[in-house]
């Protein structure tokens, strides 16, 4: 039997979770998921299945007055745009299966995007008479403040890993066992800007230290070669020396290992970043993604080339990069403020 790698396991888990929703959705939804399979990731389809489940629950309960999700294509044809607008309002704070949920503007926008894809598919395949979801405007998305670490905070973060004096004795003892790994993980985040899912999925054979390069599997499954500095290489090699002493099964090829001697999880990486970041910058909620933002900001400041930043970060659309790093244009505006001279003879006092 074929041994599944990290990405195949993740894909299988997403499919299994999606199937639980499909069992409760109308039969025609299956055609939609089969139709989009070749152009979407399993994670995207899983998210769609959750979003459609919420939508059909709402429509059945509040519009069609049905006790169960027993919705037909005729029911969908009876819907008006106002029903979807009311649904978006409902999403602000709602009760589903005994749990309470809330959505901000981004959550609503994502769920509307799911509906648009669904209704577009049904309309294009002549299963419904009108694509009412296409008439709904996307909620206005306000720019989020870009949270990143400044140079002094990065120094404090790295020092907190090496010398966690603010930890309890028990925490310090724990940190001695994980120092090389934690240092390598955070150094790799700050030195390459990779996503947390990309880091967790790394294997030893993805690295070539003769070129200071490694292969990363991007969102969607595409693989890209990235490069790292000697500083990152030193941290990784130190960790690999420690890793070689661990009682790991020969089949374990994961780059980063948990204390249970298996591939580290996304949650574990999030926790270790949070643990050290609280010392370095207690007022900022620093996550692995914020370390990615820190790298992107530093790279942009050094290169002044948004296209290089987009390529290294793996953004398919440079506008995504501009949106995330536009705030640092203020730094550039400040730098050029004195370059345009009005009076060459002017002297400041």
Place of tokens 């709904």: 136
| Cβ atoms 166, 221 nearer than 8 A | no
Residue 217, classed as helix, strand or coil, is strand
Tokens of 296: 């992107």
Cα 117 to chain center, whole Å? 21
Enter the DSSP assignment of 140.
P
Query: Phi and psi dihedrals of 135, rounded to 5?
Result: -90, -5
| Cβ atoms 208, 236 nearer than 8 A | no
Closest CA to 115 of 140, 87, 95: 87
What pLDDT was estimated at residue 268?
Answer: 95
User: Where in the chain are the domains?
Assistant: 6-135, 151-335
pLDDT tens-digit series, residues 204-235: 999 999 999 999 998 878 899 999 999 999 99
Which residues of the chain, if any, have pLDDT below 70?
A: 1-3, 164-174, 323-349
What whole-number distance in Å separates Cα of residue 111 and Cα of residue 89?
12
| Cβ atoms 227, 209 nearer than 8 A | no
According to DSSP, the residues that pair with 102 across neighbouring strands are: 93
Q: What pTM was estimated for this model as a whole? A: 0.82
Closest CA to 131 of 117, 146, 143, 145: 117
What pLDDT was estimated at residue 326?
Answer: 54
CATH architecture of 151-335: Orthogonal Bundle (1.10)
| Cβ atoms 106, 92 nearer than 8 A | no
Tokens of 136: 């709904």
DSSP codes of every residue in 251-283: T--BSSB-TTSSBPPHHHHHHHHHHHHHHH-TT
What whole-number distance in Å separates Cα of residue 163 and Cα of residue 158?
9
| Cβ atoms 223, 274 nearer than 8 A | no
């Amino acid at each position: 039997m074929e041994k599944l790698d990290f990405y195949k396991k993740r894909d299988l888990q997403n499919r299994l979770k999606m199937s639980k929703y499909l069992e409760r959705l109308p039969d025609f939804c299956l055609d939609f998921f089969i139709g989009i399979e070749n152009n979407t990731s399993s994670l995207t389809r899983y998210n769609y299945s959750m979003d459609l489940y919420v939508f059909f629950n709402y429509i059945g309960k509040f519009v069609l007055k049905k006790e169960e999700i027993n919705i037909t294509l005729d029911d969908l044809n009876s819907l008006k745009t106002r029903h979807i607008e009311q649904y978006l309002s409902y999403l602000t704070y709602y009760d589903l299966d005994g749990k309470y949920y809330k959505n901000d503007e981004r959550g609503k926008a994502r769920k509307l995007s799911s509906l648009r894809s669904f209704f577009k598919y049904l309309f294009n395949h002549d299963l419904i008479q009108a694509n009412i979801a296409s008439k709904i405007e996307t909620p206005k998305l306000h720019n989020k403040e870009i949270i990143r670490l400044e140079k002094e905070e990065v120094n404090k973060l790295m020092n907190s890993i090496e010398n966690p004096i603010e930890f309890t004795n028990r925490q310090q003892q724990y940190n001695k066992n994980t120092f090389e790994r934690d240092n390598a993980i955070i150094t790799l985040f700050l030195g390459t800007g990779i996503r947390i899912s990309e880091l967790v999925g790394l294997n030893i054979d993805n690295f070539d230290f003769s070129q200071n390069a490694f292969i990363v599997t991007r969102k969607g499954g595409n693989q890209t070669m990235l490069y790292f500095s000697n500083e990152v290489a030193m941290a990784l090699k130190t960790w690999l020396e420690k890793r070689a002493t661990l009682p790991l099964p020969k089949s374990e090829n994961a780059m980063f290992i948990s204390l249970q001697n298996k591939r580290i999880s996304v949650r574990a990486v999030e926790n270790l970043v949070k643990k050290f970041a609280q010392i370095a910058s207690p007022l900022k909620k620093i996550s692995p993604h914020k370390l990615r933002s820190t790298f992107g900001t530093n790279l942009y400041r050094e290169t002044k080339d948004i296209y290089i930043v987009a390529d290294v970060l793996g953004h398919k659309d440079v506008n995504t990069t501009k949106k995330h790093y536009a705030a640092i244009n203020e730094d550039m505006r400040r730098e050029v403020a004195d370059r345009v001279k009005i009076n060459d003879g002017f002297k400041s006092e």
